[in-house]
């Protein structure tokens, strides 16, 4: 748990303070080259071109990381394991800094610049994410993709879990999804939806605890969160309702987009702090015991 807290702080600090360095370290060119090689290796009607093809893309790098994770676990009091986990979480986080991207939207001088900035919140081949008419929902969708999905699977499976989420997201919504076989992309998107669903549910629960419980639960039910459909679209609905309630409480029902986005990022930060506070409690409990 301590390693997770430490890794999240490092990821946030470097991503915000040194975005160019973070972008260089999080380069996914090696994975895109791997996907192109596989695509050329299995032409025609093959397993690669169906939904199961994503397994061929994911298993080799995940097996390498899982093996290193296992080998480093009890070496030198766990210090190499700690550093390995921090490095993998840092790599999988983002890849762009969410705060900076939202600030660019808020500070945009005209509608054209604002639309271009909003596009940065949406992956190149995203399917089913909030559209251009829902900038608040897009912030929450981006928070799931950049922060909470990675963090949830890191907590569950360690470094391999964080890498699994990031590589699945690249295959499903990144640039490779624009040229890879449709069957492969469909399989990657199904996998990503499976990975997203529990993380989005926990985000909604956290928002209910740090925001207005009744508003969040109502939006969650109306958005389909109570149905097991592997569709995280309810998260955008919950985010919109929460921001609307925040604005109404402040007497700004007709607030401009910049204020709505500020409130959205404030709520996203509250969710993250709630998660980190819970982790801190586990760390303290472990030290006490």
| Per-residue pLDDT of the chain in tens (289 residues, 90 and over written 9) | 677 788 888 888 888 888 888 888 999 999 999 999 999 888 777 888 899 999 999 999 999 999 999 998 877 877 888 889 889 999 999 888 999 999 999 998 888 898 888 888 888 877 654 455 689 999 999 999 999 999 999 999 999 999 999 999 999 999 999 999 999 999 999 999 999 999 999 999 999 999 999 999 999 999 998 888 888 889 999 999 999 988 888 777 666 888 999 999 999 999 999 999 988 888 777 665 5
Residues spanned by the domain of 21: 2-288
Dihedral sign, CA of 147, 223, 114, 260?
negative
The whole-angstrom separation of Cα 143 and Cα 98 is 7
The whole-angstrom separation of Cα 7 and Cα 150 is 12
The whole-angstrom separation of Cα 153 and Cα 162 is 5
What the block records as the tokens of 15 is 């991503």
Task: Count the domains in the chain.
Answer: 1
Q: For residue 156, give Cα distances in angstroms to 82, 92, 109, 198, 238.
A: 15, 15, 42, 11, 24
Q: For residue 208, give Cα distances in angstroms to 9, 59, 130, 241.
A: 24, 36, 21, 11
Closest by CA position to 258, among listed 243, 271, 272: 243
The whole-angstrom separation of Cα 184 and Cα 145 is 20
| Residue in this structure with the two tokens 């409130």, named with its chain if needed | 263
Closest by CA position to 62, among listed 190, 163, 182: 163
Q: For residue 275, give Cα distances in angstroms to 152, 167, 192, 278, 282.
A: 10, 23, 21, 5, 11
- What does pTM read for this prediction? 0.92
Dihedral angle of Cα 19, 20, 24, 27, to the nearest 10 degrees: 60
* The pLDDT value given to residue 141: 94
Which residues have a Cβ under 8 Å from the Cβ of 75 and sit 6 or more positions away?
Answer: 81
Which residues have a Cβ under 8 Å from the Cβ of 44 and sit 6 or more positions away?
Answer: none
* The pLDDT value given to residue 287: 62
| Residue in this structure with the two tokens 């401009």, named with its chain if needed | 256
* The pLDDT value given to residue 8: 84
């Amino acid at each position: 748990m301590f390693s997770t807290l430490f890794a999240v702080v490092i990821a946030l600090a470097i991503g915000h303070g040194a975005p160019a360095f973070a972008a260089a370290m999080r380069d996914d060119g090696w994975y895109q080259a791997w996907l192109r090689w596989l695509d050329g290796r299995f032409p025609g009607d093959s397993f690669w071109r169906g939904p199961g093809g994503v397994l061929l893309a994911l298993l080799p790098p995940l097996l390498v990381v899982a093996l290193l994770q296992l080998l480093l676990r009890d070496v030198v009091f766990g210090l190499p394991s700690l550093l390995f986990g921090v490095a993998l979480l840092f790599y999988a986080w983002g890849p762009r800094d969410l705060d900076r991207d939202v600030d660019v939207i808020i500070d945009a001088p005209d509608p054209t610049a604002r639309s271009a900035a909003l596009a940065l919140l949406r992956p190149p081949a995203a399917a089913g994410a909030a559209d251009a008419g829902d900038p608040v929902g897009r912030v929450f969708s981006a928070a799931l993709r950049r922060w909470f999905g990675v963090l949830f699977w890191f907590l569950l499976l360690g470094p391999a879990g964080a890498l699994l989420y990031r590589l699945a997201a690249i295959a499903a919504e990144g640039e490779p999804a624009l040229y890879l076989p449709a069957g492969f992309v469909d399989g990657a998107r199904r996998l990503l939806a499976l990975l997203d669903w529990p993380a989005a549910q926990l985000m909604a629960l956290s928002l209910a605890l740090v925001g207005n419980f009744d508003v969040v639960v109502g939006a969650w039910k109306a958005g389909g969160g109570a149905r097991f459909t592997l569709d995280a679209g309810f998260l955008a609905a919950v985010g919109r309702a929460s921001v609307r309630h925040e604005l109404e409480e402040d007497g700004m029902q007709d607030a401009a987009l910049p204020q709505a986005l500020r409130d959205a990022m404030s709520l996203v930060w509250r969710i993250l702090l709630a998660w980190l506070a819970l982790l801190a409690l586990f760390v303290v409990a472990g030290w006490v015991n």
